[in-house]
């Protein structure tokens, strides 16, 4: 994280921040009897503005395709329970705890985390198939870093 990032802060969590503002905006738009050109709303340091194209009617989506029904199920991520170094095998050169495509049981060890010379096993908190291993052996991870993407057993 560098000093150049605070811009990002202002965009943080916009749904929650602007919930009240946007709701009010929506109310205003609803009450307008004819198509609007522009609505702007400012509350303290928050400013929202909506503007429609000059020919709003023509820009409306004409019979667009429905969203695909074949959307893939979301992965379940196994995340680092602490800051540390992530090892994917019990010791250097040994066979990894799991490989992509493997089935794992709930409670099965999938990695090991080292922090301050303390080794902590990382276990799957549910059964599933390993879709992706997201870190390489020896990666330094933070608390919450996703390590393994699992397709939960009950979803496949």
Partner 1 sequence: MTAHGMFRTVLVANRGEIALRIVRACREMGIRSVAVHSTADRDSSAVSAADEAVCIGPEPARDSYLNIPAIMEAASRTGADAIHPGYGFLSEDPDFAEVCDKEGVVFIGPPASVLARLGDKSSARALMADAGLPLLPGSMAPLASMEAAKRAAGRIGYPLMIKAVAGGGGRGMRIAREPGELAAAYTEARGEAQALFGDGRVYLERFLPSARHIEVQILCDGHGNAVSLGERDCTVQRRRQKLIEEGPAPGLPSEVLEEIRRAAVHGARAAGYVGAGTVEFLLAPDGRFSFMEVNARIQVEHPVTEMLTGVDLVQEQIRIAAGHPLEFGQDQVHPRGAVIECRVNAEDPARGFAPAPGVLACFSPPAGPFVRVDTHAFPGLRVSPAYDPLLAKVIVWAPDRARAIGRMRRALAEFRVSGPGVATTTGFLRRVLDDPSFRDATHSTSLVDELLKADSGD
Query: Does position 17 bind partner 1 by CB under 8 A?
Result: yes
Q: Return the residues of window 112-151 that contact partner 1 according to CB under 8 A.
A: 115-116, 118, 140, 142-145
Element (H, E) at 87: strand 84-87
Asked if 61 and 90 touch (Cβ cutoff 8 Å), the reply is no
Determine the Cα–Cα distance for residues 19 and 66; give it in Å rounded to an integer: 27
Q: Find the shortest distance in angstroms from Cβ 101 to partner 1.
A: 30
DSSP 137: T
How far, in whole angstroms, is CA 85 from its chain's centroid?
22
Residue 94: name its binding partner from partner 1, a second copy, none (Cβ under 5 to 8 Å by kind): none
| Sites of contact with a second copy (CB under 8 A) | 14-15, 18-22, 24-57, 59-62
Q: Which is nearer to a second copy, 10 or 155 (CB)?
A: 10
- Closest residue by Cα to residue 99 from 108, 110, 114, 112: 110
Binding site for partner 1 (CB under 8 A): 1-3, 5-17, 19-21, 42-47, 82-84, 115-116, 118, 140, 142-145
């Amino acid at each position: 994280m560098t000093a150049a990032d605070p811009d990002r802060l202002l965009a943080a969590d916009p749904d929650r921040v602007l919930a009240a503002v946007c709701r009010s905006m929506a109310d205003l738009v609803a009450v307008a009897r004819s198509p609007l050109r522009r609505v702007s709303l400012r509350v303290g340091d928050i400013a929202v503005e909506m503007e429609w194209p000059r020919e709003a009617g023509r820009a409306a989506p004409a019979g667009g395709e429905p969203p695909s029904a074949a959307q893939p199920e979301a992965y379940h991520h196994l995340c680092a329970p602490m800051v540390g170094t992530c090892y994917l095998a019990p010791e250097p050169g040994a066979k990894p705890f799991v490989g992509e495509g493997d089935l794992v049981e709930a409670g099965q060890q999938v990695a090991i985390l080292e922090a301050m010379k303390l080794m902590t096993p990382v276990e799957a908190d549910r059964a599933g198939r390993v879709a992706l291993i997201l870190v390489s052996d020896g990666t330094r991870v933070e608390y919450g870093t996703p390590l393994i993407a699992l397709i939960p057993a009950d979803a496949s």
